Amino acid sequence: MKAYLRTFGCRANQYDTEAVRAMIEASGGEIVATPDEADLAVFNSCAVTAAAEADLRQSVRRAARRAPALRTVVMGCAAARDDGTIAALPTVERVVAGGDVLGVAEAIGLAAPALPPDVQTGTRALLRIQDGCDEHCTFCATTLARGAARSRSMVALVHEAQRLADHHPEIVLTGIHIGHYGVDTNTTLSGLVERLIRDVPCVRFRLSSLEATEVDDRLRELFAEVDRLAPHLHAPLQSGSDAVLKRMGRHWYKAASYATAVQRIAASVPVFGLGADLIAGFPGETDDDHRRTVALAESLPFTYLHVFPYSVRPGTAAERLPGHVAASTIERRAAELRAVAERRAAAHRARRTGGECDLVVMGTAARREGLTEDYLTVAVDPSIPRGTRWRGRLDGDASRLLGVPLQAIIR
């Protein structure tokens, strides 16, 4: 079997694709780089935006044109919500909901998969600590696709992390709503992080997207106390207007409580990477709501921002809300927020120039890069081995930072 794998969307999807890859390779199959070389394709789909689903459909059709005899399986969030559109695409034989690796195994005729892979394809490993979400944001199709929150066993996660740490300098904790880790198993995210740091030496840990108000006191202390927990938080904001947040169903914070939380977290360490998601043009958003979002984004210590123009997700509550914003207005507001993002990112890079960093080396020999603890991507000399971790210095300027390794961090 020669298989082509393609992933859309979040790190949770990337983790599931790694499990599929390991399963295929364990059965004697080979992973190939293009659909032309393959007899099987597995596409792992995303439902976050209309563009992501359109990209999936286009990619499946393109692969089918290049390889008409291809057997195609589509998994992931868009697959879980398929109304028959995906199943009707050329060469698609099966549609498997969510991250059901056992379902993929059955679809392609393999035995049940063994343990998650000890080695992943990326320099940084992914560790999915939970799946699903118990919140009901009105714009989100992921909850509909992934179901209720389910936490993985802490013991199983520690064992998996120990195996991954033998091959990877950084492990990223990921999931659909990682702040709810442990709500069903009588533990907490901070408890898991503390256990991982204690039982898995040397490797650097990083948290993926996490609600700012779900960072408890112990986790904030760990950011400040432990150099193996990357001082970096991606804390979705979505809007700086309380009225819009209410329509979004994001009931657990307001703009002021979000601001207080992130300022407290960022102040806990000298260098901190802080990112957020913002949605431009949510139904009912006024010019004043937008101005509030711009002002909050300008005032908080963000080091980068991800800006998404609002797009309707079929089946979500937001689809039925009044006051949908004109596409031209959405694009204008998104452009204004992206300009804020560029200014915040440039200011952070300028502040970091000349400072020291904790650098994980990634990329190919032709394009070697480093990732700092605060989530800056910098250029690195191509002679420095991929997968190594260094204490380094940041040279250059804000337009082009160069990571200069000073001392290897023993793994």
Predicted confidence at residue 212, as pLDDT, reads 97
Q: Which residues contact 167 (CB under 8 A, 6 or more apart)?
A: 118, 119, 120, 125, 387
Judge whether 249 and 225 are in contact, CB under 8 Å: no
**Residues 366, 343: Cα–Cα separation, whole Å:** 29
Q: Is 228 exposed, middle or buried (0-12, 13-18, 19+ CB in 10 A)?
A: buried
Predicted confidence at residue 398, as pLDDT, reads 82
Kindly report, as residue ranges, where domains of CATH 3.40.50.2300 are found in the chain. Answer: 2-108
- As given in the structure block, the two tokens for residue 91 are 């060469």
**Residues 16, 411: Cα–Cα separation, whole Å:** 26
What would be the CATH architecture of the domain defined by 125-351?
Alpha-Beta Horseshoe (3.80)
**Residues 380, 361: Cα–Cα separation, whole Å:** 8
Query: In terms of Cα–Cα distance, which of 220, 218, 262 is closest to 237?
Result: 262
Predicted confidence at residue 117, as pLDDT, reads 81
How is domain 354-408 classified at the CATH fold level? OB fold (Dihydrolipoamide Acetyltransferase, E2P) (2.40.50)
**Residues 405, 301: Cα–Cα separation, whole Å:** 27
Distance in angstroms between the alpha carbons of the first and the last residue of the chain: 36
Q: What is the pTM of this model?
A: 0.91
- As given in the structure block, the two tokens for residue 114 are 């063994």
Q: How many CA atoms lie within 13 A of 356 on its CB side?
A: 7
Segment holding 199, helix H or strand E? helix 189-199
Predicted confidence at residue 116, as pLDDT, reads 76
Judge whether 317 and 283 are in contact, CB under 8 Å: no
Ordered per-residue pLDDT tens for the chain, 411 residues? 999 999 998 999 999 999 999 999 988 999 999 999 999 999 999 988 888 999 999 999 999 999 999 999 999 999 999 999 999 999 999 999 988 888 999 999 987 666 678 899 999 999 999 999 999 999 998 877 888 899 999 999 999 999 999 999 999 999 999 999 999 999 999 999 999 999 999 999 999 999 999 999 999 999 999 999 999 999 999 999 999 999 999 999 999 999 999 999 999 999 999 999 999 999 999 999 999 999 999 999 999 999 999 999 888 999 999 999 999 999 999 999 999 999 999 999 999 999 999 999 999 888 999 999 999 999 999 999 999 999 999 999 888 999 999 999 875
Predicted confidence at residue 115, as pLDDT, reads 60
Kindly report, as residue ranges, where domains of CATH 3.80.30.20 are found in the chain. Answer: 125-351
Which CATH superfamily groups domain 2-108? Response regulator (3.40.50.2300)
Q: Is 57 exposed, middle or buried (0-12, 13-18, 19+ CB in 10 A)?
A: middle
Kindly report, as residue ranges, where domains of CATH 2.40.50 are found in the chain. Answer: 354-408
